[in-house]
Amino acid sequence: MNDIEVHSLTKRYKDTLAVDSLDLDVAHGELLALLGVNGAGKTTTIKMLSCLLTPTSGEAFLCKKSIIHDKNDVKQLTNISPQETAVARNLTVRENLELMARVYGADKSESRRKADDMTAQFSLGEVLDKKSKTLSGGMQRRLSIAMALISDPKVLFLDEPTLGLDVLARRELWKHVEQLKGNVTVILTTHYLEEAQALSDRIAVMTKGKLRAVGTAQELIDMTGEKNFEDAFVNIASGEGAYE
């Protein structure tokens, strides 16, 4: 069963075609990495799928709900961890978690329970009562993802979740993302090839707003006839054609 079905999704800004007739299916519990160079259309795609942007044309269904006609349902079913760390800096870790739970309709006791669950899942216990602005970059990203998961989303968007993190913090975050596989449908955008390769079930490569190829890392290597994934990505990203 597909949790995400995208049909000819297009976003145009005046003279710029940010996303061009995107077609894509993502199965329930799958982790799909959206890979591409700057301006490829990754973030615009995520913003359309999370109802932050209205498409110019085309349609997408998340858990059978239209991103155009059922926005409130889609918003209730999904959550996003934006590219920049999106936490309330003057609130503590617990307050951030409980705030997000309340925003998605949980009552006081339920939000407290959910915050406790996320604290355990993301090992945030030691910093629970600290203001989020005092946390390290890696810890803030971890909190950001925990805030996105506290609403029990069916579909989660992670927009460059490890951007700017050192290698240790990145690996630590990977562990948490890997735990989601099979339970939550995840679309993850990233610039890091090794991240896409390590975490995802499939990888979709976008350039200039177009989807160029979709498949496992090995399938993309095979499609292009290259020796490794980096070469395969360069081949796909620099080419004009689409790989089926």
Partner 1 sequence: MIRDKLNLAFGIGFPVILLVLLSTIQANIPVSMFEIQRLVPGIAVFGLSFVSLFAAVLISKDRQSSFLMRLYSSPLLPSDFLIGYTLPLLPMSLAQSLVCVLVGFAFGFELNAYTFLMLAVLLLCSVFYISLGLLFGSVLNDKQIGGVCGALLTNLTAWLSGVWFDVALVGGVFEKIANALPFIHMAQAAAAAAAGDTAGMFPHLWYVVAYTAVICIGSVIIFRSKMNAEAV
Q: What is the closest distance, in whole angstroms, from the C-beta atom of residue 75 to partner 1 in the complex?
A: 5
- Contact between 212 and 239 under an 8 Å Cβ cutoff? The reply is yes
| Residue 38 binding partner 1, by CB under 8 A | no
Length of the chain: 244
Told to check if 175 binds partner 1 by CB under 8 A, we report no
Question: Pattern of binders to partner 1 over 91-130, x per CB under 8 A?
Answer: x--------x--xxx-------------------------
146 binds partner 1 (CB under 8 A): no
| 72 near partner 1, rule: CB under 8 A | yes
Q: Is 68 in the site for partner 1 (CB under 8 A)?
A: no
Q: Please choose, out of 32-40, 57-65, 73-81, 119-127, the segment that lies near partner 1 by the rule CB under 8 A.
A: 73-81
Among residues 35, 40, 51, 135, which is the contact residue for partner 1, using CB under 8 A?
51
Kindly tell me which residue out of 41, 45, 47, 62 binds partner 1, with binding defined by CB under 8 A. Answer: 47
Asked if residue 40 binds partner 1 (CB under 8 A), the reply is no
Q: Which residue has the tokens 């006081």?
A: 108
Task: DSSP letter for 92, please.
Answer: B
Between CA 117 and CA 101 the distance in angstroms is 12
Q: Which residues contact 228 (CB under 8 A, 6 or more apart)?
A: 221
Q: How far apart (Å, rounded) are the C-alpha atoms in residues 244 and 241? A: 10
- Using alpha carbons, select from 154, 163, 152, 165 the residue that is nearest to residue 110: 152
Q: Are 77 and 3 in contact (CB under 8 A)?
A: no
Which residues of the chain form contacts with partner 1 (CB under 8 A)? 13, 47, 50-53, 72, 75-76, 78-91, 100, 103-105, 131, 147-148, 151
